[in-house]
Amino acid sequence: MRRRGLCLRRLTLPTRPSFRRHAVTKYVYDFHEGNRDMKDLLGGKGANLAEMTNMGLPVPHGFTITTEACLAYLAEGDHPGGLVDELEEHLRGLEESMGKGLGDPADPLLVSVRSGAKFSMPGMMDTVLNLGLNDATVRGLAESTGDERFARDSHRRFIQAFGEIVLKAPGHLFEDAIERLKAERGVEADTELTTEDLEELVGRFKEIVSQEAGVGVPENPYGQLELAIGAVFGSWLGERAVAYRREYGIPDTLGTAVTVQ
């Protein structure tokens, strides 16, 4: 199978001690491979999802990237050896279990990328939803759901979230664009915007991202995933997260896991 070119984005981070692991270290766990006692490695969210999966509860399929991968990434500014191959393997398994493909224009697989530290830090780190949407897959989502407005609205929300969280475009610019479009259309509520309006909004959001970030939101879903994982890892060192840990006595050395579901 052709390699998808997954590699985690380098981040500019404070200097940290070298973090070295052997190439045989396992960095990615399907939910059925973990349990509730693995919170140090899988974070609270990942360990709980694993436990519920093993109990036979109806948990959507997914996998968790370990806190060790996060710490290695933050220490070295790059992904640890072996992580790329593991991600590819677990992505294939997720696609097979869901019967959908990431980037499939007919019936796309969409995933969330969520942080999950050992101790709960609500709202302090980043989450990206509806990853996998682009100009082609949004049409497949519309066809598979039978709801084009829902698909277009999901797309514009994804562009907004990805632009703000991952590419650091100022969030108020997206809200301003929504308000301008509503004024142009003579409506007051977001729900009054038509499918065509939402498609127009996607274009305006893309312009905001390009102007503010200097790059656009990738159309390639694997590129989206690459950047999203890096952003969630990087959010462990974000101001909100650091301040929260200081207040509640949570060690900086724990790192965060990342759950893809």
Domain boundary among 182, 197, 217: 217
pLDDT of the chain, 261 residues: tens digit per residue:
333 444 444 333 333 333 344 447 899 999 999 999 999 999 999 999 999 999 999 999 999 999 999 999 999 887 788 888 899 999 999 999 999 999 999 999 999 999 999 999 998 999 999 999 999 999 999 999 999 999 999 999 999 999 999 999 999 999 999 999 999 999 999 999 999 999 999 999 999 999 999 999 999 999 999 899 989 999 999 999 999 999 999 999 999 999 999
Q: Which amino acid is at 245?
A: R
Q: What is the pLDDT of residue 123?
A: 87
Same domain, 243 and 257: yes
Same domain, 104 and 168: no
Same domain, 128 and 139: no
A 10 A CB-CB count for 68 gives 19
Query: What CATH number is associated with residue 225?
Result: 3.30.1490.20
Same domain, 193 and 117: no
Same domain, 101 and 185: no
- How far apart CA 140 and CA 193 sit, in angstroms, is 21
Q: What is the pLDDT of residue 83?
A: 85
Q: What is the pLDDT of residue 13?
A: 37
Same domain, 85 and 144: no
Same domain, 117 and 147: no
By the 8 A CB rule, do 241 and 124 touch? yes
Side-chain-side CA neighbours of 158 within 13 Å: the count stands at 28
Q: What is the pLDDT of residue 12?
A: 38
Same domain, 149 and 166: yes
Same domain, 162 and 180: yes
DSSP letter, residue 10: P
Same domain, 77 and 123: yes
- How far apart CA 199 and CA 207 sit, in angstroms, is 13
The helix/strand/coil state of 228 is helix
Sign of CA dihedral 73, 74, 75, 76: positive
Same domain, 87 and 190: no
Pairing of strands 28-30, 111-117: unpaired
Query: What CATH number is associated with residue 202?
Result: 1.20.80.30
- Which residues lie across from 129 on neighbouring strands? none
Beta strands in 63-150 (DSSP E): 63-65, 111-117, 127-131
Integer Rg of the chain from CA: 19
Structure-token match 């994982």, residue found:
229
Domain boundary among 217, 232, 247: 217
Q: What is the pLDDT of residue 52?
A: 98
Token pair recorded at residue 174: 């997206």
Helix residue spans in 66-220 (DSSP H): 67-76, 83-98, 137-145, 148-161, 171-185, 195-213
Same domain, 157 and 39: no
Q: What is the pLDDT of residue 50?
A: 98
Q: Which domain covers residue 189, as residue numbers?
A: 135-217
Q: Which amino acid is at 136?
A: A
Q: What is the pLDDT of residue 55?
A: 96
Structure-token match 């840990």, residue found:
245
Provide the domain count of the chain.
2
By the 8 A CB rule, do 27 and 86 touch? yes
